[in-house]
Amino acid sequence: VLYNKKPCYDIVFQQSFDGLWEELQELGASEKKLCIVTDSRVDELYGAQVAELLEGKCCKIVKYAFPAGEENKNLETVKDVYRYLIEEGFDRKDMLLALGGGVTGDLTGFVAATYLRGIDFVQIPTTLLAQVDSSIGGKTGVDFDSYKNMVGAFKMPRLVYMNLSVLKTLEERQFYSGFAEVMKSALIKDALFYEWLIENMYEICEREPATLEEMVIRTCSIKKMVVEKDPTEQGDRALLNLGHTIGHAIEKAKNFELYHGECVALGTVAAAYISWKKEMLSMEEFYEIRDMFVPFYLPISVDDIDPQEILKLTKSDKKMEAGKIKFILLKKIGKAVIDRTVTDDEILAAIEEINFSE
């Protein structure tokens, strides 16, 4: 067994950054240099506040901010962070703090995995997507040429610190895009949570703090449970890819104009459609799942796609095994399964279902 350590770190939920130092202190931060890695937008909003909080408490606190955007999640930015850490004299006992969305977390985690063969890092996720998904599970990495997440490493953070109050400054589209991953988690593992999401629809859209807190905690618990059972994706972790097989294909075909969660919503509708056609879900369940995305401003159809192109892109995804696509389908709401029997025709029919021009 190459990888037999369970991910082991605290995930802390708070409504401010105030408790951050106490948590860091437990990791020995008083004796360390700390580098906040963040993007330009998050830096503007929260960079100074977090830096001030830590000022004078550790050996040294410095900050590296890169221009916000997926296009900067690459090896150029990684190199820049390496240079900065070398200039600032960071050694193996020092620590990085990833303050930002999934882009910041993935990039910082990759730097932490590779700088001096690995140094500690802490996730301080600030987007809904990062809080419920990317900050947990230890996948880190960057894009390479036109390939998403092509270069990376498994690297567990020492701590995930979530300040849920930062969700209020998220752009509308960004917020709902993250919500797609919440829906996905409920659909694959937790029917009761799915019911709860319907009941609390209004409070969620209003971003009512206590509701968001419960929502984030429940989604994180699902991700944590799945990932701990299967850290390197030999089995059940693949279930988290519900909606991602066709979703990624649409993301690419649309040149990343649609947000990730929007594509996940479309991909989930397609997967639910296939599940219905394979007589796993009833027709009522399919329509219910599809229509649940609508009040959360997520798309259930898309225009200007070429079904053949989406099929081709779907089949070129990483999730192929021995020539067969590993599809995640729904047996019912709250239970997903891995399926290797989905045919090209079934995929095409599902793409037609979400094709707006139909």
The residues assigned a catalytic role are: 117, 139, 181, 223, 233, 237, 241, 244, 248, 260
Output 54 or 103, the one with its CB closest to ligand NAD.
Answer: 103
Give min distance, CB of 237 to ligand NAD, in A: 10
State yes or no: residue 73 binds ligand NAD (CB under 6 A).
yes
Report the candidate in 116, 110, 114 with the shortest Cα–Cα distance to residue 92: 116
The single residue among 20, 34, 42, 264 that binds ligand NAD, judged by CB under 6 A, is 42
- Dist. CA 262–CA 350, nearest whole Å: 16
Give min distance, CB of 104 to ligand NAD, in A: 5
Provide the 10 A C-beta neighbour count for residue 335. Answer: 15
State yes or no: residue 241 binds ligand NAD (CB under 6 A).
no
In the region spanning residues 297 to 356, those forming contacts with ligand NAD, defined by CB under 6 A, are: none
State yes or no: residue 219 binds ligand NAD (CB under 6 A).
no
Q: What three-state secondary structure class fits 122?
A: strand
Give min distance, CB of 43 to ligand NAD, in A: 8
Q: With contact defined as beta carbons under 8 Å apart, do 268 and 247 qualify?
A: yes
The size of the interface with ligand NAD (CB under 6 A), counted in residues, is 27
Output 58 or 246, the one with its CB closest to ligand NAD.
Answer: 246
State yes or no: residue 126 binds ligand NAD (CB under 6 A).
yes
State yes or no: residue 134 binds ligand NAD (CB under 6 A).
yes
Q: With contact defined as beta carbons under 8 Å apart, do 314 and 325 qualify?
A: yes
Q: With contact defined as beta carbons under 8 Å apart, do 244 and 264 qualify?
A: yes
Residue 71 carries which DSSP code?
G
Helix axes 244-253, 344-354, angle to 10 degrees: 60
Contact letters (x/-) for ligand NAD, 250-269, by CB under 6 A? ----------x---------
Contact letters (x/-) for ligand NAD, 169-208, by CB under 6 A? xx---x----------------------------------
Q: With contact defined as beta carbons under 8 Å apart, do 94 and 34 qualify?
A: yes
Q: Which two tokens stand for residue 84?
A: 């900065």
Provide the 10 A C-beta neighbour count for residue 321. Answer: 11
Output 94 or 143, the one with its CB closest to ligand NAD.
Answer: 143
Q: How far is CA 223 from the centre of its chain?
A: 10
What type of residue sits at position 77?
T
Give min distance, CB of 165 to ligand NAD, in A: 9
Rg (CA), the chain: 20
Which positions touch ligand NAD (CB under 6 A)? 39, 41-42, 45, 68, 70, 73, 100-104, 106, 126-127, 129-130, 133-134, 137, 139, 149, 166, 169-170, 174, 260
